[in-house]
Amino acid sequence: MMGIASDRETNTRLGAIAPAVAEEIQTLSNEELDRLVVALLDFTTSSDLEPWLISRRS
């Protein structure tokens, strides 16, 4: 489950995100969530999130 801090940070930085993206974020490990929180600092829109999620699958 997505951590409260990560959820709050994502919504604050990007606004509402698609349910499928939120579900994928919920599957991230704690280490991946930490990386996401750092990456969010560089994101400007929710469209920045999907390439990050795709790149972590590789």
Which tokens go with 20?
A: 């499928």
Residue spans of the domains in the chain: they are: 4-57
Asked if 16 and 47 touch (Cβ cutoff 8 Å), the reply is no
Q: Which of 5-14, 27-36, 45-54 has the lowest mean pLDDT?
A: 5-14
In whole angstroms, what is the distance from residue 55 CA to residue 48 CA? 11
Asked if 43 and 13 touch (Cβ cutoff 8 Å), the reply is yes
CA distances from 48 to 31, 54 (A): 19, 11
pLDDT > 90 fraction of the chain, expressed in percent and rounded: 17
Using the predicted structure, report yes or no on whether residue 24 has a pLDDT greater than 80: yes
